[in-house]
Chains A and B, each alone.
Chain A
Amino acid sequence: VGGTGAFFLLLDDPEVYGLPPAPKVTTRDLGEMWRSAGAAALAMGVGVAAAFAGGRR
């Protein structure tokens, strides 16, 4: 691989051809997403601890 093997010349905005104008690789934000999920999991732990802090039964 290497080098452009083929390309398409678009004569109008990408939308006209059913293509996104500024496509995004969502996996780039994966670190942020896992951090957020980790924080949420931690919040769950804190919530459960708080539930037991109010009494054992």
Chain B
Amino acid sequence: MTPPRGERDGSAPRVVPDADPVSYYGRPILKGPVWHADIAWYLFVGGVTGASCPLALGAELVGNEALAKRVWPTALLGITISPILLIKDLGRPQRFLNMLRVFKVTSPMSVGSWIATGTGATVGLAAVRSQLGWFPRAGRVAGLAAGLGFGPGLATYTAVLLADTTVPVWHGARRELPFVFAGSAMASAGGAATALTPASIAGPARRLTALGAVLELAAAHRMESRLGELGEPLREGRPGTYAKAAKALTGIGTLAVAAGGSRRAVAVAGGAAVMAGSAFERFAVFRAGFASAADPKYTVGPQRRLVEAGASVGT
């Protein structure tokens, strides 16, 4: 780095040394995300919806119709709320229709708009079949499409949506983030089903809660340790508090569901705790992105090291 001005021109050293030029008067280099909290809620709701689809499909396939009958409506409710949240962020409904005028693989937002639309159509059919018995064949096919394709897609594409930005903590977490979101989605969908279903038929939901929680916690731990200094925004300040709350609630809720899930009150409380943990995890990741974009050191630090290592610049 350049020596302080005083030493360079031979005059007396200045009292205040020149700061390491991190950016222009410490101003952020990146333009931060423009999303509102609606999008963090959408990450959570999309997760519950997305993982509810395979759970409901599985229940159908093994003949546990009573469980399917309770999980499809959860997915339907979720996929009804999701576009409302997206439209709230976009400003007016027409803009969502505009999103559907193109399909562009290089834009996660475009892919996601189509995934959300497909989820809506298939979950709608599958839910109507499970409740009213209408469209028996189309409902089964729609259930397969939602459970095997659209649902898991809806729960994980949002990770790509965040990672395909220049926000350092999101882009840095691009490998682990889909697994964090997948685990969080499984845990919250399992938690919702555990809370809403009689314990006698909710075994798969309880097991899904536990598996999802383990995946969420393990992937989040791996993400944080691999990010290193870039992951600071996930540990400090408000996002850090959210992340700690997420881990505590997910852990406690999972233990409650696993140990006492056969008792109604425990199942409801445990399921709700796991859902809250999942929501906190999404908010932690979401808010950490803003903090990460606002502080120029996360933008400059790693890039400066690349330059100094002699890497070719501008790719």
Contact = CB atoms under 8 A, between A and B. Distances in A.
B186 interface: yes
Nearest to B301: A21
Contact of A22 (B22, B155, B177, B306): B306
A50 to B, nearest CB: 6
Nearest to B167: A26
Nearest to A49: B58
B166 A36 contact: no
A48 B208 contact: yes
A48 B157 CA distance: 18
Contacts of A57: 64, 67, 200-204
Interface range on chain B (Cβ under 8 Å from partner):
35 or more
Given A15-B21, A22-B304, A40 B29 contact: no
Interface residues of A, number: 41
Interface of B: 21-24, 27, 29-30, 50-51, 54-55, 57-59, 61-64, 67, 106, 108, 148, 152-153, 155-157, 159-160, 163-166, 171, 174-175, 177-179, 181-182, 185-186, 190, 200-205, 207-208, 211-212, 215, 296, 299-300, 303-304, 306-307, 311, 313-315
B21 A43 contact: no
Contacts of B62: 52, 56
A52 B205 CA distance: 9
Interface in A11-56: 12-13, 15-30, 32-34, 36-45, 47-52, 54-56
Interface of A: 12-13, 15-30, 32-34, 36-45, 47-52, 54-57
A33 B143 CA distance: 27
A52 B204 contact: yes
Contacts of B185: 44
B152 to A, nearest CB: 4
